[in-house]
Structure 1
């Protein structure tokens, strides 16, 4: 058989040169790169389109259903709107429309907070928050309040809701805000509901809670008292030092403040109180830090102290930082001010609520600080099954079911139980529903115990009426009439008017207790601990035109001990208020710029007190070099201060050595945050060099000087590790950083954080300084509360007044006005605050006309 050719061998191609393969590999790689670039570009374009899709129309004309006549919205270079209308209906409808344009996501989240419905948006992590709010019944109270409001207020609320809903009718999903695109991944298919007037009313409950510290004070004291001697607890909660700090208003009488025990049988209820505290603190994650440290500065000076001979009023409320800021600047103007359309007011508003909260009209101006009165009591209740004991009788608990819808999960049903004092806050966390069953109180049998909360903000009232009446006030008399409607949160109100008067007024519901002083929980099984009513408005602290020519409040005591009624025993320390007072007295004739300089003052009274002790304790080596930063230091804390960096590190480490282990390791939880309370605690202990708090067993430290030396050593080691070996190069701002986060989605995946948050930056100040930028010494130097805005009202020329917001007008990420005021705020600068029509028109950069559809 003849052989056949090897056809397979003949068809094998010759080997290609290596350069050919490399060339093709490069071509393939470049093609892949091109594809990736195209995909990335498309993704980038999509992201850009999604972000910009929500930017509102702020120039030209828009047709808006419900309007009766055209409305103008003029915006300045920072996007701050001034609204002009012919009637109140159109004015507040346009306010609702404008708020929705810039901040609807924020508004939507706020109403979910106050209704206990965050879980519908964000899933099971928010169930405890929702259960806490549902248990207290914020929305239920707001519904009752709406029915109590005046007819005109209800009309304004409805007009505002109509404006919000007009915007919702034309926008949905990412058109409303980019957060809805992100939310679509978590909760597909979510569609915002129509806005209602009650949505607006309910936000006042969140603000009242955010500004209330009584629950924190009561639980801290009671839990500490269960394991520490009474005198030790007293040293941790020092009495207000009236000898060092001036009150806000003059003495009222020669009577004495009523005293009360209010500590009965607290030891048995530590677990139940711990449970109630956990429930209460669950809200801090969405509303920011609460209670001690959260406050404000406000002061007003009469013409006798000013260059112009006219009053000046300054205000900067301290709240948790948020993106966007909690405030929204706005002017609300009737084109022709008269009986038919009486509004001409400008200031700081809350998105989601009509009216102006802080600001001025053409006649009067006002600022607010937190009074933080004792308006809450925790009642320790003896519960047996479905009943509770009261004056020897078993009374039935009131119960209701609340269904909490949860995104991505089954609904949760909770049973809310209430006594005559209020809802059982200790029911919110299941693990301690039977707290107190150990029966550790002598004479009290084992059984179920619970903690009920009684709080003035759960008493329906007409606070929103006060908001509109303040806008219409013309003098001190009408201002006080408006303030008398302000129930919760109770505030200090600073006042100045066109005629040259200055004033101070406390409004709000302040309970009169039969027993106790609001410092400790009280037994709920006896009528002896009930509230006997509320202080009449006429008996609340009030003063007009003081001889000294100024009023100052920075959460300090508003009266001296001669005032005959109990407001609180837990005043904030007087360091800020006294510093402001001193600067006013030293400032000569003041103008708006001088008021702003006072707002930015960073002198640390704690450093002035502690530094001399640090300088006399022998230290060696690198610590000595670090401590030399404190020699000649003026105790101010600008962001570039090396001395401030070292001192605050010493302070943080000192608190760790003195308190943190003693008060948190095997003992009740106490937040040693290092604020004004701790300034006073350590100030007293410095005169007790052998006190037990100057002993640290873990480090074998005995005595004050040994602990001070160890704190300086630890601070030096910490900063050398964090900031480098050269103490002269240390900077307070490198430690004390502010990151402004979106309160809801700003802690999510890194791309979302990049989209919604703003990068950290070093800031000046600290707790209990006038420029109050708080930080928690138990945790970190990071800023956790700030002056949320700053303003100065100048009655020599209202158009010369100044203001600044923490972030910006817009709630839309990457909008020009999302964070354009943040750099100004960080530098301590402000912007023009035009009020007259001529000044507003001159400042306008955008002009939008809203026309009836």
Structure 2
């Protein structure tokens, strides 16, 4: 017996020893790709040594003798910290994810191949100005120098993920960086999805008058009502609204519903509204959360001076930031730069489609998608005069495409002469608002609202190509239209001067929260779809609440968690519920409802992570939206997975008969809006009790509203996800300036924070080096690095790090200095 025990102990000890050796071996292999920031390296492609000083937050300060040398250093730094992220972004826009991940990413590849963005990016290289072409070439050389170093010195394939998903890494090309800007346009564009949703909803509703309720125009619009979609194709037998195949939802997918398209805040103060007498600028662009974050902080020393701010790895420009004399911030403009067309096929020859001049053949090419572990798929790509043809399996197009027709897309990003990269390069070198506005002429896509400040002036300008539409366009771009009608087709683009512009306003304050900035009739309308109708009211209150502002007051506004929406909707929805009803015994649903209403009556609308009221409010609005629309829209109601404040307000104010949504059509009784509000609150409280318990006072919004900075590839892998994902309790909500967009839908965690400000910056030109910035995770994409998440807690607490161009401050507590020296013969 004792011998058996001894051998069992030996076997157990041996197993433990083997496990330790295995773990040590894996750690050794993975840690080989951790970059060494303190070294001298000889590389080819430089005219003089480049110094990369990494401050104590691992922000690289790149000093080169020439601009091209500096961009070389930025490329090397990007590849050191974010190589895997860059590879994935490039594979995404090329439509080549399936070569690594197999059939699960095939849908993403098919859509991107049909857009053919990478081909357009290669063609766009030639139209960049000489300085931009040189910068792109040198930046690519810097990335490739890192790739050469990795291969030569066996540095763990450059990233831990390469051991699990090993695939050859091609050298970086200038076209790759241009392609990533086009990929940004995919992520920030929502009009295609919204046009399809508008058409599907038009077909699903029995009463066309209700379309303006569920998909309302931004308040203040004077645009007339549109025809019912079915009226455009009167002889069509439309399918019922079954759940069709939707846009791919893989974590690497760049396609987003309108609710998750780009959002942002940017606001500026002139010297007359600044306590210090200098201009102020704050910017926090909102995108989907991930680990690592999409943004990467950097400082570049150019011949025109130093620039510092946020980059996207793979793109060699400071997209939002400042120089010594100019600050710039970006917000999504929501310009209507996409139109979907229904193209009629020739009944005698389906290889042709109808045009104003008769039937013409499609322009076609073939594209082969290689798939790991499966046979390759060959796509036939078809283009019309309006743009690429998209199959019915994408974007639910099958539901709105009549038999004998196909859908095509016009989109400003589908340009082979895209000079957006040159515009961004020129902007970095601009020294004043005037020259920065001139640089905006070269922007094509994605369209942005560019907020600018120099020492004396503030300005906001919408940049990006705006389609020129005919005033007779039958749908005004709100839903798909017939592609063979001349009046529906684009007629080029509008002049840059037609884009909205605000320079040196008399009030001394300007900004944008993705709200509607102009009220112009179609076709000069800019957009029917705007990203915000709510945050702007809170922003106005904070900006006008004081005569002058400081850097700290701008920080306070960025971090504000008070929901204007909650403050305005709750008194309206609960008007007949507050403090009504008879006494109810403890533990009964009625008593629980009374407790919830009492708590909400005393709440100021602050979406604080430590409070219970935000969770009760959010759950109530979610249940209310479902109650209002489910019986009218059926399965389509799942597409409206976030409560729409404008819709709810229309219903409860009975605007144009909108209270009809409160009556459940399938029931014999006639329900009032008070009935629906009460039932929705009970639904919400039951859900909360099942999920978090019935002790309402002990609820915490932050427990439900966790920020999900998840690794896009490894984030769902058991055990490993605990090392690569970053989760944090957060304040804010869908409609607060500290925006934390919730996941929505009917899943188990509908209030997780999945979309918000991955970057925040506040620039004070009275004392530029007192400016501050932060990103949501850390600078490194390597999950074994201490810089993988070292900024995340600062970000969660609303703290910042210095945004200084002073080289001495960068060197004072640097984590390393890398010197890239020209290779000796």
TM-score normalised according to structure 1 size: 0.89
Range with greater deviation from structure 2 (303-312 or 569-578)? 569-578
1:662-713 per-position Cα deviation (integer Å, ceiling 9, x unaligned)? 3243xx46522325xx100001111239833213367877111111111111
Distance 1:729 1:783, change over 3 A: same
Distance 1:155 1:273, change over 3 A: farther
Distance 1:784 1:577, change over 3 A: same
SS at structure 1 position matched to 2:464: coil
Matched, 1:230 2:189: no
The partner residue of 2:735 within 752, 762, 768 is 768
Report which of the two structures shows the higher radius of gyration computed on alpha carbons: 1
Q: CA deviation at 1:285?
A: 4.8
In structure 2, distance between residues paired with 1:475 and 1:808: 31
In structure 1, distance between residues paired with 2:700 and 2:732: 13
In structure 2, distance between residues paired with 1:270 and 1:426: 19
The partner residue of 1:177 within 133, 146, 159 is 159
SS at structure 1 position matched to 2:744: coil
Count of residue pairs the alignment pairs up? 793
In structure 2, distance between residues paired with 1:171 and 1:329: 23
Q: Which residue of 1 aligns with 2:639?
A: 671
CA contact (8 A) 1:742 1:757 kept: yes
Q: Which residue of 2 aligns with 1:120?
A: 99
The partner residue of 1:157 within 136, 139, 161 is 136
Q: CA deviation at 1:284?
A: 7.3
In structure 1, distance between residues paired with 2:11 and 2:516: 70
Q: CA deviation at 1:746?
A: 2.2
1:357-408 per-position Cα deviation (integer Å, ceiling 9, x unaligned)? 1111122110000001111010001113101111261111111100001112
Matched, 1:718 2:683: no
In structure 2, distance between residues paired with 1:434 and 1:217: 14
1:129-170 per-position Cα deviation (integer Å, ceiling 9, x unaligned)? 111111111111101111111122111111111111111112
Matched, 1:463 2:417: no
Q: Which residue of 2 aligns with 1:495?
A: 452
Q: CA deviation at 1:578?
A: 2.1
For 1:432-511, what aligned pairs fall within 5 Å after superposition?
A: 436=401, 447-460=403-416, 461-498=418-455, 500-511=456-467
For 1:405-424, what aligned pairs fall within 5 Å after superposition?
A: 405-424=370-389
CA contact (8 A) 1:208 1:457 kept: yes
Distance 1:141 1:267, change over 3 A: farther
SS at structure 2 position matched to 1:193: coil
In structure 1, distance between residues paired with 2:613 and 2:721: 33
In structure 2, distance between residues paired with 1:258 and 1:536: 25
For 1:388-403, what aligned pairs fall within 5 Å after superposition?
A: 388-391=353-356, 393-403=358-368
The partner residue of 2:539 within 562, 580, 583 is 580
Root mean square deviation of aligned Cα: 2.6
Q: Which stretches in structure 2 are left out of the alignment for 5+ residues?
A: 582-589
CA contact (8 A) 1:258 1:564 kept: no
CA contact (8 A) 2:68 2:135 kept: yes
Distance 1:268 1:610, change over 3 A: farther
Distance 1:595 1:328, change over 3 A: same
In structure 2, distance between residues paired with 1:745 and 1:507: 37
Matched, 1:644 2:644: no
Distance 1:125 1:267, change over 3 A: farther
CA contact (8 A) 2:321 2:329 kept: yes
CA contact (8 A) 1:289 1:784 kept: no
Distance 1:285 1:265, change over 3 A: farther
1:620-667 per-position Cα deviation (integer Å, ceiling 9, x unaligned)? 2222122221121101101011111111111111112112453243xx
For 1:481-560, what aligned pairs fall within 5 Å after superposition?
A: 481-498=438-455, 500-514=456-470, 515=473, 516-560=475-519
CA contact (8 A) 1:223 1:273 kept: no
Q: CA deviation at 1:296?
A: 0.5
SS at structure 2 position matched to 1:513: coil
Q: Which residue of 2 aligns with 1:614?
A: 574
The partner residue of 1:73 within 43, 52, 63 is 52
SS at structure 1 position matched to 2:380: strand
Q: Which residue of 2 aligns with 1:735?
A: 704
1:262-304 per-position Cα deviation (integer Å, ceiling 9, x unaligned)? 9562677897999999565557752263433541100001111
1:691-750 per-position Cα deviation (integer Å, ceiling 9, x unaligned)? 332133678771111111111112222222222232110111111122211123323x31
Distance 1:272 1:348, change over 3 A: farther
Q: CA deviation at 1:65?
A: 2.1
Distance 1:483 1:277, change over 3 A: farther
Matched, 1:845 2:823: no
CA contact (8 A) 1:242 1:560 kept: yes
CA contact (8 A) 1:214 1:376 kept: yes
In structure 2, distance between residues paired with 1:788 and 1:607: 24
In structure 1, distance between residues paired with 2:792 and 2:690: 30
CA contact (8 A) 1:276 1:451 kept: no
In structure 2, distance between residues paired with 1:416 and 1:755: 41
CA contact (8 A) 2:284 2:760 kept: yes
Q: Which residue of 1 aligns with 2:12?
A: 33
SS at structure 2 position matched to 1:292: helix
Range with greater deviation from structure 2 (647-656 or 688-697)? 688-697
Q: Which residue of 1 aligns with 2:188?
A: 211
In structure 2, distance between residues paired with 1:742 and 1:288: 17
Matched, 1:799 2:755: no
CA contact (8 A) 1:82 1:332 kept: yes
Q: CA deviation at 1:237?
A: 1.8
Q: Which residue of 2 aligns with 1:133?
A: 112
The partner residue of 2:390 within 425, 442, 445 is 425
Distance 1:434 1:827, change over 3 A: closer
SS at structure 2 position matched to 1:557: coil
Distance 1:283 1:397, change over 3 A: farther
In structure 1, distance between residues paired with 2:400 and 2:697: 54
SS at structure 2 position matched to 1:602: coil
Q: Which stretches in structure 1 are left out of the alignment for 5+ residues?
A: 1-20, 185-189, 244-255, 335-340, 438-446
The partner residue of 1:300 within 260, 264, 268 is 268
SS at structure 1 position matched to 2:195: helix
Matched, 1:705 2:684: no
SS at structure 2 position matched to 1:224: helix
TM-score normalised according to structure 2 size: 0.92
CA contact (8 A) 1:457 1:488 kept: yes
Distance 1:722 1:272, change over 3 A: closer
In structure 2, distance between residues paired with 1:745 and 1:273: 38
In structure 1, distance between residues paired with 2:247 and 2:234: 20
In structure 1, distance between residues paired with 2:563 and 2:312: 32
1:457-507 per-position Cα deviation (integer Å, ceiling 9, x unaligned)? 002320000111001101122111111111101110111112x21111111
The partner residue of 2:254 within 284, 287, 297 is 287
Q: Which residue of 2 aligns with 1:354?
A: 316
Q: Which residue of 1 aligns with 2:792?
A: 822
In structure 1, distance between residues paired with 2:725 and 2:71: 31
Distance 1:661 1:743, change over 3 A: farther
Matched, 1:242 2:213: no
Q: CA deviation at 1:517?
A: 2.1
CA contact (8 A) 2:763 2:772 kept: yes
The partner residue of 1:777 within 744, 767, 777 is 744
